[in-house]
Every structure is written in structure tokens, then in C-alpha cells.
Amino acid sequence: MRLLASIGIATLLVDYALGACTGMNAADSGACPVSQCASLVDDFSSNDTLASSGTSTQPSNAQFVSELSPDYASITGDGLTLSLVKSGSGYKGSTVYFTKWIEYGVITARIRTGSATPGVISSLQLQDESGTSIDMDWVGNSPNSVQANYYTENQLELSQATSASLSSNPASSFTIYKIVWLPDSLTWYANGFAVRTVNRMDTWAEGEQRFKYPSSASRLSFSIWSASDASNPGLTQQWAGTIPSTSTETQFSMTIARVQVDCYTNTTDAAKSSASPQSSASNDSSFVSPKSVTEVDLSNFGLSSQESTSSLSSSTMSTEGSGNDLSRWLAEQDTPSGARPYLDSN
């Protein structure tokens, strides 16, 4: 029963994070998952960066698309704001998608969540067409924390999420979050410190003869939604709580002040091999000896040496199968001092 409930939650999360795989409007990138990643820095200073699926005329340079109707996403003075609005006896939420597909890279976002009360969920997700997902979630019944999780093909297991405490309430102040998704390692950060690291080699499922690791082109989305809806699986409400029936709040808002996407493409394709960990090095002609991601490499992602050392204290990130491709890409992320002040500021 728990597995069925988990699948139900995974399906629900897919509904909120990947609702229109086949192209939503003129601003969208087209059929799933065709479009290539495009690096981006957006502080949402222009209304033209956001399109709505409910509008016939779309800005040609829109980077994000609001999918749900009614549309409660807008550009405000603080950035991209997604709202959860009371509607009758329930609440209607918001989901916004990046118009490109991402296959490995670094996602950095400065976010103030809307999860100010139990039952309200704010999410940052990367999700492919099969339901494989990389998540950062904020739930109102766990204040001052962020949850880092991933799952493959809708096989969600909430117990594998890692929760990290934050120094301030994420619903009342902005925090910088980062996902570093490489062919052989995946790390979630909050304000420069690693919340969790998963190495692809550790995800081998012998019974299924595959790595249970995100490795397909995925869609970036931001969303805010309510766990209180009666149609949600019971486990969803156990996880996130429910909005109190006595609540007088009619709206909860999540704001993204700035988002940065740095794309990475591994031309060797070795990381997508289905070979077992024992055989991949010997059988894959494109295999290159692992290259550790050092403090210098991490500085290219906007982390200071001190933050990098802290981040690596519990686990080491490695990049099997990427070799010079990764080295080149990491080098390309290095920019002159001051070129990306956003990454190192709160």
C-alpha cells in the first residue's frame, strides 16, 4: 500500500512539474524532449520573459511558460511570483516551466518559498518524460528546512529525501539554491553548502540491471501547490500536512528573484551506458578514468574554497566517463571576478 501511495504522489508531482510535454504554445520549445539546453541568467526584470498558455499572443523571447489555468504566475517587483490562491473550499496553484530541455548542468535560483503553513508545498524540479525527477521541496510543516530528493520512472520514495536545516525561514527571506547535475554525480546546495550528494555508481539496481540515476533530458519547473486537496494520496498529506481549516489566508506566494542555467553536454555518452559498475570501465571503449571535482572546479560553480571544502566533507564527487569533456565544460564556467556576483551573494 505504501508503494502504491508513493506512486500516487509521484504521479501528482509529475502533474505539477511536467504537465505539457508536447509543447504548450509558440513560446515553448516544441515536442518532448527535442529542444537543447540554452544557458540563461534571468532576473525577471522584463514581463516578456514569461508567457502564459492561456494567451494567444506570446512574447517571442519568453524563457518561461505558465501552464495552469487560472494563471496565478506573474512578474512582480521581487521577481517571478507564483501564487497559491484560495478557490471555493480549496486552493489553486501555479507551475512555470523553462522553455528548454536540460541534460546535465547547473541550476541556481534565489528563492523565497510560499510554504508558510502546513499543507503548502513549494518546489524546484527537473523532470523527464518518464517521471524521473530531481527535486528541491519546501513543505510548510517543516519550517526552516529544504528537502533534496530524486527518483526514477515515478518510483518515488519519500523516505529517501534528505532534509537540511536553514539558518532562516525560507518563506520569509531569500536563499540561494543550486543543483549540480553531472553525468556521474548529483549535488544539491543551499547557500553554498552541500545538502546531499548522490554518485551514479552507487545507484546500480542489480535486479533491474540499470542505474537508477537521472540521465535524460529534463524540464526545469517551479511550482507551488496544496497538499490539502481531498484527491491527493494520504501519504502526501502525511508528508506535507494540510492547510488548517481555520486559516484565514487566501493566498500564498513563492518568488524566484533570479535563476541561472549553465548547460553541460557529455559527448562521450558513456554516462548513459546500461552496463553494470563492474563492467562499465572494461567494456565501454569511451570510458575515461574518473576525474575528481576539486575545490577549483567547484569554484567555477560559484562556490568559495571554504564552501567547497565544507561541501565535500561527507562525500566526494566524481565524474566517470566524462573526462576531458567535463574538464572543458568546467573551465568554460570560469568567468572573471565579479562577472557573476549573484552566485556568491544572499
pLDDT digits (tens, 9 = 90+) for 50-85: 998 766 566 778 899 998 888 999 999 999 999 999
**Predicted TM-score of the model (pTM):** 0.74
In SS3 terms, 200-248 reads as HHHHEECCCCEECCCCCCEEEEEEEEECCCCCCCHHHHHHHCCCCCCCC
Burial class (CB in 10 A: 0-12, 13-18, 19+), 98: buried
Q: pLDDT at position 72, please?
A: 96
Cell for 204?
546500480
DSSP code string of 60-86: TT--EEE-SSS--EEEETTEEEEEEEE
CA 281 to CA 288: how far, in whole Å? 8
Q: In terms of Cα–Cα distance, which of 224, 284, 219 is closest to 254?
A: 224
Q: Which three cell numbers stand for residue 27?
A: 513560446
Cβ atoms within 10 Å of 60's Cβ, excluding its own: 8
What tens digit of pLDDT does each residue of 100-129 get? 999 999 999 999 999 999 999 999 999 998
Query: Which pLDDT does position 200 carry in this prediction?
Result: 96
Q: For residue 76, which of 261, 253, 341, 340 has the smallest C-alpha distance?
A: 253
